[in-house]
């Protein structure tokens, strides 16, 4: 029988979220650290751009006000509106630093249950108010931003007040969870049951279950359950045409999946308010190691061999020499493979040893070092993990120095992967040089591996043109979009399309599917108020 999960959420000491940049304000690089970062890229500014202030933004009066029955759910506070105006992509950060946030929501609503969500949608439809569902605001593709002028006003629908684990079914090992639960709060409520969702994207601390579902988010783990889709048992969605809940089933072949319709829809078809999610036991055993390679192409072969084995490492992340040096995982020009295994029931030492043997057969150098607590024992692994968590803050520090620093991610089959990596280094490097007159640093890492292919992530860093940093990135991004299409690589592996990936997505999706999506939106959202223009026209 379902077991009630009535554990209060311990939010700990209050910290201030940045309205313009990543994470917490007290974790941002100070001016001196920003200057030191800028010194690593020739051509950056002499001093960092000042931290932007909400008071300097042109935030006018709302174009519409809610009826008295909904007024207690809605705020017109300038700080709240500014914090809900954009996501956390590089182009969002630099626009905030330059004081160019574009359209700021007229209102921010924080419903506490399904009925309040339905009431807000009904009012918005009657008044022609665009509604943008909002979780943690960590979108890096323009998915929480309104661009256009077709609506009287814009309402940001913040779901973070709906953040509870409502039920736990221990027999089926599943939980009913509200969509506004941020990653740490979600895991804190599961921990007393010795269970975990085991979905840890880099944005884990600042993103919600609903956001993961609406963007088909990828997690941290390299094999097996890499995307949130794999954990979904059922969804509850509120649309302007009504509410619906899919059945809880372990599997079904009964026609097109209702859940798949809303996964990745980015709030264009409905607002996900709850989900039954498949859980796992918390891991008790962990083993990790790093492997150095003098030859990056032999490292690719090693990773492919491991991916096509039956070992299924939790972490199988390959860093090219530039990425390895940047993270502190290597200082001799080597590429580094980070391997990790974990289990709730069995030690992973044997599987790690086998994976190391496969890596050594391709020229790798590394020894097994095990850890059974929460932190791996291997030095390069620790260095990579620290850099992984710190990187978004450093990106914002470089943005304050006028640098263009952004990551794009994709996935392709193994046979196409080497040519894709070489094309990115050559063509994107040339585009950055043309746009800025400066040589760009382009680093590559494989983050997720599958038997038939892998997901390379590329980070581009180059000094921008002062005041034109967004235009520089847009020029580079256009080259990236064309390149990925020519190499039959997806426009995004790790998260949804948003505004910024639309050109690539339109090339990727079949036209009959596009027609079906448009028809679905017309039926579920007849006034076209839900997140207009993100995934569907």
Angle at 493 between CA 481 and CA 159, to 5 degrees: 110
Percent of the chain with pLDDT over 90: 89
Asked if 356 and 365 count as a contact pair (C-beta separation under 8 A), the reply is no
Are residues 293 and 322 part of one domain? Answer: yes
Whether the pLDDT of residue 11 is over 80: the answer is no
Residue 3 confidence class, pLDDT cut points 50, 70, 90: very low
Q: Would you state the structure tokens that stand for residue 132, as one six-digit string?
A: 């943008």
The answer to whether position 99 is within a domain reads no
pLDDT digits (tens, 9 = 90+) for 449-482: 999 999 999 999 999 999 999 999 999 999 999 9
d(CA 523, CA 263): 18
What single-letter DSSP state applies at residue 72? G
The answer to whether position 107 is within a domain reads no
d(CA 489, CA 486): 8
Are residues 316 and 354 part of one domain? Answer: yes
Burial classification of residue 8, based on how many CB atoms lie within 10 Å of its CB (0-12 exposed, 13-18 middle, 19 or more buried): exposed
Whether the pLDDT of residue 437 is over 90: the answer is yes
Looking at the 3D structure of the chain, how many domains does it have?
Answer: 2
Are residues 228 and 291 part of one domain? Answer: no
At 210, which CATH number? Answer: 3.30.465.10
d(CA 494, CA 502): 15
Domain of residue 326 covers: 285-382
The answer to whether position 392 is within a domain reads no
Give the mean pLDDT of 231-242: 97
Mean pLDDT of the chain: 93
Residue of 346 and 243 predicted with greater confidence: 243
Are residues 295 and 187 part of one domain? Answer: no
Are residues 253 and 230 part of one domain? Answer: yes
What is the predicted pLDDT for the residue at 244? 96
Whether the pLDDT of residue 316 is over 90: the answer is yes
Are residues 218 and 268 part of one domain? Answer: yes
Q: Would you state the structure tokens that stand for residue 490, as one six-digit string?
A: 């997806």
Are residues 227 and 332 part of one domain? Answer: no
The answer to which of 129-133, 368-372, 416-420 has the lowest mean pLDDT is 368-372
Are residues 275 and 183 part of one domain? Answer: yes
Q: Look at the alpha carbons of 458, 459, 465, 471 in this order and tell me if their dihedral is positive or negative.
A: positive
The answer to whether position 333 is within a domain reads yes
Are residues 182 and 270 part of one domain? Answer: yes
Owner of token pair 């895991």 = 187
d(CA 312, CA 493): 19
What single-letter DSSP state applies at residue 187? H
Are residues 276 and 289 part of one domain? Answer: no
Whether the pLDDT of residue 429 is over 90: the answer is yes
CA 260 to chain CA centroid, nearest Å = 19
pLDDT digits (tens, 9 = 90+) for 250-299: 999 999 999 999 999 999 999 999 999 999 999 999 999 999 999 999 99
Give the mean pLDDT of 80-109: 96
Residue 369 confidence class, pLDDT cut points 50, 70, 90: low
With the CA atoms of 300, 306, 308 and 309 taken in that order, what torsion angle do they form, in degrees rounded to the nearest 10?
160
Last-in-domain residue among 361, 382, 403: 382
Are residues 355 and 263 part of one domain? Answer: no
Last-in-domain residue among 349, 382, 415: 382
Residue 537 confidence class, pLDDT cut points 50, 70, 90: low
What is the predicted pLDDT for the residue at 533? 81
The answer to whether position 92 is within a domain reads no
Are residues 297 and 217 part of one domain? Answer: no
The answer to whether position 444 is within a domain reads no
The answer to whether position 193 is within a domain reads yes
pLDDT digits (tens, 9 = 90+) for 43-80: 999 999 999 999 999 999 999 999 999 999 999 999 99
Other CB atoms within 10 A of residue 68 CB? 7
Residue of 350 and 9 predicted with greater confidence: 350
pLDDT digits (tens, 9 = 90+) for 179-195: 999 999 999 999 999 99
Whether the pLDDT of residue 5 is over 50: the answer is no
Taking the whole predicted model, whether its pTM rises above 0.75 is answered as yes
Asked if 213 and 263 count as a contact pair (C-beta separation under 8 A), the reply is yes
Candidates 318, 347, 326, 266; CA nearest to 461 is 326
Helix (H, G, I), strand (E, B) or coil at 340: strand
At 308, which CATH number? Answer: 3.30.70.3450
What is the predicted pLDDT for the residue at 432? 97
pLDDT digits (tens, 9 = 90+) for 162-171: 999 999 999 9
Q: Would you state the structure tokens that stand for residue 378, as one six-digit string?
A: 């291997």
Whether the pLDDT of residue 376 is over 80: the answer is no
Asked if 341 and 224 count as a contact pair (C-beta separation under 8 A), the reply is no
Last-in-domain residue among 281, 309, 332: 281
What is the predicted pLDDT for the residue at 536? 65
The answer to whether position 171 is within a domain reads yes
């Amino acid at each position: 029988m379902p077991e009630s999960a009535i554990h209060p959420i311990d939010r700990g000491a209050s910290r201030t979220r940045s309205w313009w940049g990543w994470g917490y304000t007290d974790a941002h690089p100070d001016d001196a650290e920003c200057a030191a970062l800028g010194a690593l890229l020739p051509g950056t500014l002499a001093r960092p751009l000042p931290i932007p202030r909400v008071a300097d933004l042109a935030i006018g009066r709302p174009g519409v006000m809610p009826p008295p029955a909904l007024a207690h759910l809605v705020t017109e506070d300038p700080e709240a509106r500014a914090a809900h105006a954009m996501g956390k992509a590089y182009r969002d950060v630099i626009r905030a630093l330059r004081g160019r946030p574009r359209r700021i929501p007229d209102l921010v609503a924080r419903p506490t249950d399904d009925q309040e969500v339905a009431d807000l949608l009904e009012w918005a439809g009657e008044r022609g108010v665009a509604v943008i569902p909002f979780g943690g605001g960590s979108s890096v593709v323009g998915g929480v931003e309104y661009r256009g002028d077709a609506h009287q006003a814009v309402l940001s629908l913040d779901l973070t007040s709906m953040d509870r684990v409502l039920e736990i079914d221990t027999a089926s090992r599943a939980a009913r969870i509200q969509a506004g639960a941020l990653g740490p709060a979600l895991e804190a409520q599961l921990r007393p049951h010795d269970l975990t969702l085991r979905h840890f994207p880099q944005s884990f601390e600042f993103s919600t279950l609903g956001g993961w579902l609406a963007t088909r988010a990828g997690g941290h783990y390299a094999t097996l359950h890499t995307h949130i889709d794999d954990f979904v048992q059922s969804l509850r969605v509120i649309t302007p045409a009504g509410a619906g809940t899919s059945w809880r089933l372990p599997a079904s072949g009964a026609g097109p999946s209702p859940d798949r319709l809303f996964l990745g829809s980015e709030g264009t078809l409905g607002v996900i308010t709850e989900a039954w999610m498949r859980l796992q036991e918390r891991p008790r055993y962990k083993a990790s190691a790093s492997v150095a390679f003098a030859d990056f192409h032999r490292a690719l072969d090693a990773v492919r061999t491991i991916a096509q084995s039956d070992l299924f490492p939790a972490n199988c992340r390959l860093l090219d020499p530039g990425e390895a040096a940047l993270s502190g995982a290597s200082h001799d020009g080597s590429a580094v493979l980070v391997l990790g295994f974990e289990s709730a029931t069995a030690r992973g030492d044997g599987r790690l040893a086998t994976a190391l043997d496969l890596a050594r057969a391709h020229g790798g150098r590394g020894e097994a070092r095990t850890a059974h607590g929460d932190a791996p024992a291997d030095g390069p692994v620790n260095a990579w993990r620290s850099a992984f968590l710190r990187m978004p803050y450093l990106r914002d520090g470089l943005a304050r120095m006028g640098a263009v620093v952004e990551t794009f991610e994709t996935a392709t089959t193994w046979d196409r992967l080497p040519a894709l990596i070489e094309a990115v280094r050559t063509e994107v490097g040339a585009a950055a040089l043309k746009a800025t007159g400066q040589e760009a640093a382009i680093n590559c890492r494989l983050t997720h591996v599958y038997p038939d292919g892998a997901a390379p992530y590329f980070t581009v860093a180059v000094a921008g043109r002062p005041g034109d940093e967004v235009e520089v990135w847009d020029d580079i991004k256009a080259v990236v979009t064309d390149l990925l299409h020519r190499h039959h690589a997806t426009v995004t592996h790790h998260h949804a399309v948003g505004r910024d990936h639309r050109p690539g997505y339109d090339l990727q999706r079949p036209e009959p599917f596009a027609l079906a999506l448009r028809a679905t939106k017309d039926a579920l959202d007849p006034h076209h108020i839900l997140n207009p223009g993100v995934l569907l026209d």
